[in-house]
Amino acid sequence: MAALAGAQDYKTWSDYGGGPDSSQYSSLRQITKANVGQLRVAWSYRIGENKKYSFNPVIVDDRMYVMGAGNSIVALEAATGKPVWTWTPPADTKVITTRGINYWESRDRKERRLLLASNHALRAIDAFTGKSIASFGTGGSVDLREGLDRDPKLLTVLQSMSPGRVFEDLIILGSATNQGYGSAPGDIRAFAVRTGKLVWTFHTIPRPGEFGYEGWPQDAWKTVGGANVWSEMSIDEKRGILFAPTASAKYNFYGKDRAGHNLFADSLLALDARTGKRLWHYQMVHHDIWDYDDSTAPKLLTVRHEGRTIDAVAQVSKQGFVWVFDRTNGKPLWPIEERPVPKTDMPGETTWPTQPFPTKPEPFARQSFTVDDLSPFLSAADRAKFRDQILSARNEGLFTPPAARGAIQMPGNNGGANWGGAAVDPFRGTLVVVSKDLPCLLKLDKKSDEVPGLTAEERYESQFGFMIASDGLAAIKPPWTSLTVYDLNTGSIRWKQPLGEVPELAAKGIRNTGTHYPKVGPVVTAAGLIFTGTRDRKVRAFDIDDGKLLFEQEVPMAIEGIPSVYEVNGKQYLVFCAAAQVGLIPATQKPIDGAYIAFALP
């Protein structure tokens, strides 16, 4: 299988998520199951700002690139954490890529660039000097609001917090369109790394003559938004295939203005990375009115299936499903059934009659929520409130449509797996998923604000409806966060257990609850280790074979995002961005004094 898994050697961490295939995997073996307990802090770099960060460091040779105070980009000595240079974004910066950054180098390595977006513009930084590259685009930037066939002045939300993907001399970007009516379209676009010139565009809301156009109202591409890739993409470098998981069409929870199955929303797209041509696709949700985005990077790995070696792609979802396909042709490894789902009772809305359900592997998240599932830690007032909400709402399973009287959604629209939430051992067919269970109540009300092109009878909206108690914890009983390991050679769960704790409960002796509301990215190493950092201020290492906890150390701040694994001068390091908020409610929150913390053996 080793020859088929991919073109990477997995010894570096030179791009977001470890590399183009988003594996969150390292082939380094110096840190083993036998010695991981000896890990010590090797160095730390203090951010020095009371602000949340969840940045995945990129390491090239002996340089590390991180996000520092004021959303600056800082180059550090990877072995010591000593600053080398700092790039400061424009003073008027309101939004910037915060989860990571892209790196590109020329074949002779004489040109090296870092690429990120800020204020909805793509920018390039010289990786040697930290200086903006003025020759890139127009005056050093490319306005991402241009070229979408919408009025740029009306596109107030567009760029993603996640980086794109570099392939050869292209930077390929998704977008984070607004959640509401009138959002930007979710075009996937590729730009030339050297010039910023647009090279290709894939329309996720098809235009006349394009495949999938019949799944929308006529000319929907002019007004409907979303179907975007706001999270992460992956690339099979050997085959030149881009795997792009798309989000729901907008508005999230009501879709009278977008009747139809809404291809390519909520789909896994396989595109020719050089041209943007569609190779194959699979839609995981038809006419999404639940905000069930595919928000985790597709994972590329090689498996043995029915006696054959298959290069596969695995997609995990907010619903708690694992979808596994032959990455060359999109054929599912196990049957996927279209099953009838409940119909809407909202005026003007037409739900799709069926939704796809993978028959294997089994889900990693709970998919129902009743009064029997209420948390034992709720106050009497919270318990009564949630009980009343559950009993008065529609509650008919995974695809219960949003309703005026409320509808229970489990896993919620922020549950299941989210960005950074999965890793693989690409050679062993092993998938690791971090997930959270967070029920929601979707209650549609008339939208008072006017929406261009929609009458008052066509406008409904709902809050995201997280069912969170007055103490900040979920209404559902624990575990709130789980770590699940799959063997995708067989499609079975190898083991599953809670991940992390809630400090306030742990202080009372209540453990094994899972941490609450995480955005946790695991990493896997060839030595058979899983590393995670969590909101309870803990760094942990687990045995990938049986889930045994092999290492645990508390750090000063909470952790979100993906750690990085790298090597400098023969020494293996593991670095975390510890700059998140541990407190669940204002009363328990404290100022953030974040830092990048690197671990190594003595």
Q: What is the pLDDT of residues 82-92, one digit of tens each?
A: 999 999 999 99
Helical spans, DSSP H, in 313-465: 380-392
How far apart CA 184 and CA 173 sit, in angstroms, is 14
Please tell me the predicted confidence (pLDDT) of residue 7.
53
3-class DSSP state of 391? helix
pLDDT in tens, 64-104: 999 999 999 999 999 999 999 999 999 999 999 999 999 99
CATH code, 2-600 = 2.140.10.10
Is the pLDDT reported for residue 595 higher than 50?
A: yes
pLDDT in tens, 141-160: 999 999 999 988 888 888 99
Length of the chain: 602
Under 8 Å CB-to-CB from 553, ≥6 apart: which residues? 39, 538, 539, 599
β-strand 72-77 against 63-68: which pairing, if any?
A: antiparallel
Compute the average pLDDT of residues 167-193: 94
Is the pLDDT reported for residue 4 higher than 50?
A: no
As a whole-number percent, the residues of the chain with pLDDT over 90 amount to: 91
Please tell me the predicted confidence (pLDDT) of residue 178.
78
Please tell me the predicted confidence (pLDDT) of residue 517.
80
Is the pLDDT reported for residue 371 higher than 50?
A: yes
Q: In the structure, what pLDDT confidence band is assigned to residue 518 with cuts at 50, 70 and 90?
A: confident
β-strand 460-461 against 529-533: which pairing, if any?
A: unpaired
Q: Are the CB atoms for 269 and 227 separated by under 8 Å?
A: no
Is the pLDDT reported for residue 460 higher than 70?
A: yes
- For residue 298, give Cα distances in angstroms to 244, 246, 323: 7, 11, 10
Q: In the structure, what pLDDT confidence band is assigned to residue 175 with cuts at 50, 70 and 90?
A: very high
Compute the average pLDDT of residues 457-461: 83
pLDDT in tens, 493-510: 999 999 999 999 999 999
Secondary structure letter of residue 362 according to DSSP: P
Q: Are the CB atoms for 261 and 286 separated by under 8 Å?
A: yes
Is the pLDDT reported for residue 1 higher than 60?
A: no
Q: Are the CB atoms for 33 and 543 separated by under 8 Å?
A: yes
User: Which of 431, 544, 420, 403 is CA-nearest to residue 489?
Assistant: 431
Q: What is the 3-state secondary structure (H, E, C) of 107-149?
A: CCCCCEEEEEEECCEEEEEECCCCCECCCCCECCEEECCCCCC
User: Which of 246, 259, 276, 253 is CA-nearest to residue 220?
Assistant: 259
Q: What is the residue extent of each domain of the chain? A: 2-600
3-class DSSP state of 305? strand
Q: In the structure, what pLDDT confidence band is assigned to residue 181 with cuts at 50, 70 and 90?
A: confident
In DSSP notation, 556-575 reads: SSB--B--EEEEETTEEEEE
Question: Which amino acid would we find at residue 121?
Answer: A
Average pLDDT over the chain, rounded to an integer: 95
How far apart CA 385 and CA 148 sit, in angstroms, is 45
Under 8 Å CB-to-CB from 509, ≥6 apart: which residues? none
Compute the average pLDDT of residues 315-322: 97
Give exposure, 492-502, as e/b (b: 16+ Cβ within 10 Å): ebbbbebbbbb
